[in-house]
Structure 1
Amino acid sequence: MKILIIGPSWVGDMVMSQSLYTKLKMLSPNATIDVLAPAWCKPILERMPEVDNALEMPIGHGEFNLLGRKTLGKQLQKKEYTHAYILPNSAKSALIPWFAKIPVRTGWKGEFRFGLLTDLRADKRVFQYMVERYVALAYDKETMRQQVDLKACPQPKLSIEESSQQAAILRLGLSQLKPVVGLCPGAEFGPAKRWPDKHYAEVASHLIKSGYQIWLFGSAKDQEVTNKIRSALQEAEQDYCFDLAGKTSLTEVVDLLAVCQTVISNDSGLMHVSAAVGCNIVAIYGSSSPKYTPPLTTKLQMVHTDIECRPCFKRECPLGHQNCLNKLMPQQVISAINSFTSST
């Protein structure tokens, strides 16, 4: 088998898609796997041993560009792929393998994909979790329901490069003398996934007083939030809180998260990266639910409120109060952290 994967566009989904690549290699050890995905996913793909080549998608996310897709498909036709797996649900995502004339094109039923896929799977709702839907594509449609459940899905495992890890620690002036807890307070999806910065600051203060140091992770967009968290600490506590938001590449983030004993995160891509590098995870849920895309790890505590209006899956609170997050108290997260200590 020579396989082309049309990969997802979000970091968290890309991490979960590794479960499919692992399963494909288990079923066909000699298969080669190339993944076509946006450039920002390349650092993640390069840490997946199952992936032979990470191919950069030259067409922007959401852009149709029929001519560009045809041109790319014709270029890929020269590689003589035997199978394609199309993970996004859009029609445009299925065009490139069709133009590439890949004989077997597998994916779930989506918008106007009849004819574009040769192996069309009818109803993804038979599987609750996204990772199950990915892994099910590795099996034929007649047996996938018997073969796949969450326990049978391989957990993502990103490789760590120790030399790169130590280089990043040196460049950023970090130390490993105290155990590290990572905080990931951002959420690309929207504010209805972001636990309040004042709650994060209270947890950070507690952890620093307990002998830990804090590393704050995020993109440049998260700097306002991470700065608020660090600024809310007492001056002496700030010496043990390091704001890395916007200062690291995604490759460095992968390596630095692996240093963390525990990571506290909103429902975000970095939550899934943290799980894939082996951290203890405290996953905070507001408007979303762990019943669809939980972190794929056994070292997990999930925290959320049980108010009637959640989960609503909205980017912003439609009721204006955001109580699903505001009423999730720091002590609940601290208790979740302590559960890892008590279980060892």
Structure 2
Amino acid sequence: MAEAAASREAPRILVVGPSWVGDMVMAQSLFMTLKTRHPGAVVGVLAPGWSLPILERMPEVDEAIALDVKHGEFGWRTRRDVARTLKGRFDRAIVLPRSLKSALVPFLAGIPLRTGFTGEQRYLLLNDRRKLDKTVLDQTVKRFVALGLSADEAASGAFAIPRPALSVDGQRQIALRAELGLGERPAIGMMPGAEYGPAKQWPLEYFRELAQSLIARGYAVWILGGPKDAEAGEVIAAELDYAHNLCGKTRLADAVDLLAACEQVVTNDSGLMHVAAAVGTRIQALYGSSTPAYTPPLTDNADIHYLGLSCSPCFERTCPLGHRNCLKQMLPARIEAAVCGSPL
């Protein structure tokens, strides 16, 4: 009886995390909610191995458990093996992705209460199934937090959304400036990538034009992204003094510290945009095929740039009309004015 009471007072909760950087950052709002609603709760997160450096920056996460399955791979054996290590360790699971395979590990681990939205024929894998009302839960972060609440409270839509706040390593910031030769100029970060597709990417020639203008004003420009963004970073930085192409040269944890060291960032709707929001850096957020109504940066310290054309948002990976006017008509002068405090 005492053990049961302790479990109710301080549950052991496993969250099956998402597979995108931005979504993982937004999931911190759920972790915060769980810690507030259940003082003393143990929160574990099952997530892709690449995301562990982000989870390490979240004080609410007590344990990060790697599930290294390649993108698009079912990974039955890996999921089964991880499930075996989790047997008897958690009272409840919250499954954030809506796929069948994401609900498999909690089921195989025998976790008693398994919560998630209905979808992909996973009726038997979840025993606390929630219907997703997209008119009430109209943002990704709301959907994540709702799964940590009672069904009735979640359905009302009347609940607080705590804002993500990643820890920053000040000593590592200093070391990175030296290691990467970044100098002492105040920095503007630029994130030209968007993993989802080119319909979310501001033209590279606009990033370069803006970089030239900002460097002339006395700034340095730090271009951040993964190895896939290295070529784009070179287009922006080539032959520009004080422009540093860091794409693919830093770890994800380093990106957290570098973004926190920037005065502002100019970014597509991307995972690193959400990282910048979670470290408190001012954001110039550029939206094209997506909408700030659905995945806004979770901060008051942001300027949102969205033209709202008749064809926007289309949520397509590539522009179905072939012109990307939603981003091409968003000119560099507008963003420069916003960065420098004199909006057009």
TM-score by length of 1: 0.93
Structure 1 residues 92 and 54, CA gap change in structure 2 (3 angstroms): same
Give 3-state SS (helix, strand or coil) of 1:143's partner: helix
Does the CA-based 8 Å contact 1:86-1:107 persist in structure 2?
Answer: yes
Counterpart in the other structure of 2:6: none
Cα deviation code 1:199-230 (max 9, x no counterpart): 11121122112221111111121111111112
Instruction: Map 1:190-229 to 2 at 5 A.
Output: 190-229=197-236
Counterpart in the other structure of 1:12: 22
The match for 2:177 among 154, 169, 178 is: 169
Aligned length: 332
Give 3-state SS (helix, strand or coil) of 2:29's partner: helix
Does the CA-based 8 Å contact 2:67-2:82 persist in structure 1?
Answer: no
Task: Quote how far apart the aligned CAs of 1:130 are.
Answer: 0.7
The match for 2:57 among 31, 47, 50 is: 47
Give 3-state SS (helix, strand or coil) of 2:289's partner: coil
Counterpart in the other structure of 2:297: 295
Residues 1:99 and 2:108 are matched in the alignment: yes
Which blocks of at least 5 consecutive residues in structure 2 are unaligned? 1-10
Calculate percent identity across the aligned residue pairs. 48
- Measure, in 1, the Cα distance between the counterparts of 2:49 and 2:305: 32
Cα deviation code 1:253-308 (max 9, x no counterpart): 11111000101000111100010111001110111111111110010111122322
User: Partner letter of residue 212 of structure 1?
Assistant: Y
Counterpart in the other structure of 1:122: 131
Does the CA-based 8 Å contact 1:124-1:133 persist in structure 2?
Answer: no
- Measure, in 2, the Cα distance between the counterparts of 1:14 and 1:115: 26
Structure 1 residues 329 and 267, CA gap change in structure 2 (3 angstroms): same
Does the CA-based 8 Å contact 1:36-1:54 persist in structure 2?
Answer: yes
- Measure, in 2, the Cα distance between the counterparts of 1:65 and 1:209: 51
Instruction: Map 1:7-156 to 2 at 5 A.
Output: 7-78=17-88, 80-125=89-134, 126-146=136-156, 148-149=158-159, 152-156=160-164
Task: Quote how far apart the aligned CAs of 1:197 are.
Answer: 1.1
- Measure, in 1, the Cα distance between the counterparts of 2:130 and 2:123: 11
User: Partner letter of residue 276 of structure 1?
Assistant: A
Counterpart in the other structure of 1:159: 167
Task: Quote how far apart the aligned CAs of 1:147 are.
Answer: 5.9
Root mean square deviation, CA, Å: 1.5
Structure 1 residues 292 and 116, CA gap change in structure 2 (3 angstroms): same
Does the CA-based 8 Å contact 2:67-2:79 persist in structure 1?
Answer: no
